[in-house]
Amino acid sequence: MIQVHVPATSANCCIGFDSLGMALDWWATFQFEPSNELIITGCPKEYANEENLVVQSFLKTCQHLKKEMPTFHLHIGSDIPFSRGLGSSSTCVVAGILACDAWFQAHLNKMEILEIATDIEGHPDNVAPCIFGKAVCSFMEEGKPRMMIVPCADYKCLAMIPDYPIVTNEARKVLPSTLEYKDAVSQVGHALCFLQALQVGNEMILAKSCVDHLHEPYRKKLIPDYDSIHEQCREMDLAMWISGSGSTMLAISLDPTKLNQLQKNVETKLSIQCRQMPIASKGAWVDYE
């Protein structure tokens, strides 16, 4: 049996829209065993078919390797919620690719895996940290992903997960088509300081660099709890952002007492589910049973 372990991710990280993502120490496990027919367990019935994203990603990798698609029993063990901005679709994509690679012992390198995953997802900001771990900044050049791993200080993360989903395509519809020049200049400065503060552990600069002009001012309107949580984080000097397209919001800190206090406030006053975890130090991996 092939087992693929894949982390949740937080894309955008406030100032890195479509270009920065972070792997979280929150794992989904996908098990693959040979079978006479395709069987999928561990997910809602509407996803237990050939259109399942794990299966489609496995198929895409078969086509890349010029191999015939096998039949298997896929069991999904994941409590990463759907449509909450935590990279649930990216876990499926990366799991399918890595499982196919392991099935045929193709020994794809991580950049080849990233290229296939980006081709499926359309952008690398979630799949890159999913594959490499830590934080990853990336861009596209002539249809190919380019990326750099960003080492992170010992930050802990608090995911605040409302009970309502946000569909990525809908979240993109609220974004503007243009940006003022002064806002672009501001974005660059905040992004550069954010990356350095993330690496060296300057929590004050990290919090103050979380000022975005590209997506958060527009997407926050889709999240009724955003303003309340953002104000609490500002008062506590905590870095905080909308994870992916939402509805999850992520706060990070070197001080667990701050996160504990924020979690208590959010759970008791807003009745929002919370979960703490470190930044994942490694990306997806495969083992065998």
Task: Place 168 in a pLDDT band, splitting at 50, 70 and 90.
Answer: confident
Q: Is the peptide bond before 57 cis (omega within 30 degrees of 0)?
A: no
Q: Any idea which fold 2-151+280-288 has?
A: Ribosomal Protein S5; domain 2 (3.30.230)
> What residues contact 267, with CB distance under 8 A and at least 6 apart?
273, 274
In CATH terms, 156-278 corresponds, of 3.40.640.10, 3.30.70.890, 3.40.605.10, 3.60.15.10, to 3.30.70.890
Summary mean pLDDT of the chain:
96
Task: Place 169 in a pLDDT band, splitting at 50, 70 and 90.
Answer: confident
Average pLDDT over residues 244-262: 97
Average pLDDT over residues 139-152: 95
Sign of CA dihedral 32, 35, 41, 44: positive
Task: Give 28-39 pLDDT, tens digit per residue.
Answer: 999 999 999 999
Task: Output the pLDDT for position 216.
Answer: 96
Binding residues: 81-91
Task: Place 91 in a pLDDT band, splitting at 50, 70 and 90.
Answer: very high
Task: Give 12-59 pLDDT, tens digit per residue.
Answer: 999 999 999 999 999 999 999 999 999 999 998 888 999 999 999 999
> What residues contact 116, with CB distance under 8 A and at least 6 apart?
57, 60, 61, 64, 97, 108
C-alpha radius of gyration, the chain, whole number: 19
pTM score, whole prediction: 0.94
145-152: long-range pairs with CB below 8 Å, 24+: 145/114, 145/115, 145/118, 147/114, 150/20, 150/195, 150/198, 150/199, 151/199, 152/22, 152/198, 152/199, 152/279
Task: Output the pLDDT for position 150.
Answer: 96
- Indicate whether 261 pLDDT > 90: yes
> Three-class SS string for the chain?
CEEEEEEEEEECCCCCCCCEEEEEEEEEEEEEEECCCCEEECCCHHHCCCCCHHHHHHHHHHHHHCCCCCCEEEEEECCCCCCCCCCHHHHHHHHHHHHHHHHCCCCCCHHHHHHHHHHHHCCCCCHHHHHHCCEEEEEEECCEEEEEEECCCCCEEEEEECCCCCCHHHHHHCCCCCCCHHHHHHHHHHHHHHHHHHHHCCHHHHHHCCCCCCCHHHHHHHCCCHHHHHHHHHHCCCEEEECCCCCCEEEEECCHHHHHHHHHHHHHHHCCEEEEEEECCCCCEEEEC
**What ranges do the domains of the chain cover?**
2-151+280-288, 156-278
Task: Give 62-81 pLDDT, tens digit per residue.
Answer: 999 999 999 999 999 999 99
Binding residues for ATP: 81-91
Task: Output the pLDDT for position 167.
Answer: 84
Task: Place 289 in a pLDDT band, splitting at 50, 70 and 90.
Answer: confident
Average pLDDT over residues 186-201: 97
- Cα maximum dimension of the chain: 60
Instruction: Decide if 86 contacts 125 (C-beta within 8 A).
Output: no
According to DSSP, the residues that pair with 276 across neighbouring strands are 158
